[in-house]
Amino acid sequence: MRHTFESGQWIDVLPIQGLKAKHKDAAEAAIKLYVSFDKDGNPDLSQMPISMSIAKAQRHVIMAICIAAWSFTAWQLDTDGDQIPGTETALPVPEWHADGAQGTILYEDSFGELEIDDANDLEAFFAPYMEKLKRRPDPKGTITSSSNGTSRAKAKNSRTD
């Protein structure tokens, strides 16, 4: 399916209805947290990368999987920030290469070279994809310290002898 942005740039993209479990697995595999341990065997969380980079990594994986082609280009700029004629080049489309539970994105730097408005439009376009792939906890499976694990409706209908 082709989607054209306000800027006139376009992407050929997998429709959201085409998402499969393997896409969710790839997005979840994009989260890589490495924990080191101190000399006493306790986790050392001082180097743990907790930031928006997790969401970005997942979004980049899904975009690299779902985008088959695009029309984005880059220009060299002069010292005033103006485009230098004749320097326009096509940005390579990022490609997801899975390797078991791991994977890499070839040409991931292309996402960073997009004009900011196009990058924002691309992110907004993929927001429903990301929402659909989110792991949703089962609220019925949640047990708090003040509950016994039985829902109120179930408890109300149970017999007490």
Instruction: Select from 14, 25, 114 the least CA-distant residue to 68.
Output: 14
Nearest to 61 by CA among 96, 100, 13: 96
**Segment 93-135, tens digit of pLDDT:** 999 987 765 678 899 999 999 999 999 999 999 999 999 988 6
pLDDT computed for residue 47 by the predictor: 64
What does the pLDDT look like over 23-73, one tens digit per residue? Answer: 888 887 766 666 677 788 777 766 665 555 778 888 999 999 999 999 999
**Cα dist from 21 to 38, 48, 136, whole Å:** 37, 28, 14
Whether the CA torsion 146, 151, 153, 156 is positive or negative: it is negative
Cβ neighbours of 26 (radius 10 Å): 20
Domain range for 104: 2-157
Q: Can you spell out the DSSP letters for 19-43?
A: --HHHHHHHHHT-----EE-TTS-E
Q: Name the token pair of 145.
A: 């310290």
Number of domains in the chain: 1
Q: How far is CA 131 from CA 1, 59, 138, in A?
A: 20, 10, 16
